[in-house]
Amino acid sequence: MKKLSKKLILLLIGVAFICSFAACNGGKEDIKTDDEEALQKIIEQYVNNTVIRTYRLLSDNAIKLHQACEALQANKTDANVQAACKEWISAREYWEKTEAFLFGPAGDYNLDPQIDSWPLDKNQLDQILASDIIQGIDAEYVRNVLGFNLKGFHAVEYVIFRDGGARAVSDISDVELLYLVAVSETLAQDCILLEASWAGMDGVTSEKREILEELELIPSRNYGNDMMMAGQAGSPYKTVQQACIEIIEGCIDIADEVGNSKIADPVNTGDVLQVESWYSWNSLDDFTNNIVGIENSYMGGMEGYRDASLSEYVEKKNATLNAQIQAKIRDAITAINAIPAPFRNNLHNTEAAQAAMDACDELVKILSQVEDEVLQ
């Protein structure tokens, strides 16, 4: 056998050392860049202090709403109707803020349509309330038999609100109260499932866990961990950039929906039945909270719990763009609040509505620049 030259031996030793070093460090592709580390922190902050924190408050308040509905059924008083209305508004606030992240379990488990389909199928609802079926109605029947347009927030709203205020208790029948308690119970269950889907079953209280286990509503995956593991084996997000793009796209989707659907559809048709939350006259608050959900997603969490954020990341890449995004968020909120309330009575005020639609379109455009210019 030929002897190897000294140069060749040194070369082979060098190659072996390089390969060994790469193997010990997981290979070059496993070494995170500064950008990747920053985005990883942003994702962790987003999951814990935007998504999970909001869903936890949603499920807590949905449980209180159901309890208030039960109290109303047990003791029919105007004060108890008012209490139920107050709890509805509290839970509704947090639901609307979650619409900036309707990807994941909200879509995979059809929880969005179960919780928030609009408009109600009032004709069918009236038939159900007048039939013998209603006497045996419970949460299981609501979940397994009734269609999306017969349950959720707006079904509860229909029973307890009229003309922007609490409905007179004398106008609410015992049959409606049976329906109210059943639909508010399934609403609470669905909100708990959303929280558990992002936080994991171990991340919710034992009481919430027992509710889901009894119903066999166990999340098939932990969506929060999936997102926080972006770029690692087993995560549906191949890179941290891909996960952050999902965050931005969730914001873009709801900004577009507020302007081009929630506001535009009833204004363009003049049809009050297309106005979301019109029994409670809560529409403008709904729209505002949608934009606040975008703000929380971009700024790194709910107010008071903000840390690593897309805003900080964009600031380092393009300070002008970051300032523009924050301004467009404020502009959208201001324009929505400039629509005279209640929205259902002011569909003819096309100037104010158009200003709000334009502000939402501007927000969509500026958020798209983050996806196209910063995260790609």
Question: What residues form DSSP beta bridges with 166?
Answer: 161
Q: Which alpha helices (DSSP H) does the chain contain, by range?
A: 6-24, 34-46, 53-74, 78-98, 105-108, 111-116, 122-129, 139-144, 153-160, 174-199, 206-215, 223-228, 240-257, 264-269, 283-299, 310-317, 319-337, 350-369
What is the model's pTM?
0.91
Tens digits of per-residue pLDDT, 264-308?
A: 999 999 999 999 999 999 999 999 999 999 999 999 999 999 999
CATH of 35-374, one of 1.10.3810.10, 2.70.160.11, 3.90.550.10, 1.20.1420.20: 1.20.1420.20
pLDDT tens, residue by residue, 125-155: 999 899 888 888 999 999 999 999 999 999 9
Three-state DSSP class for residue 166: strand
Domain ranges for the chain: 35-374
- Give yes or no for a contact between 370 and 314, defined as CB atoms under 8 angstroms apart: yes
Mean of pLDDT over the chain: 92
Are 262 and 99 in contact, with CB atoms under 8 Å apart? no
Per-run averaged pLDDT (10 residues), the chain, 376 residues: 42 43 43 90 98 98 98 98 98 98 96 95 91 90 96 97 98 96 98 98 98 96 98 96 98 98 98 95 98 98 94 97 98 98 97 98 98 90
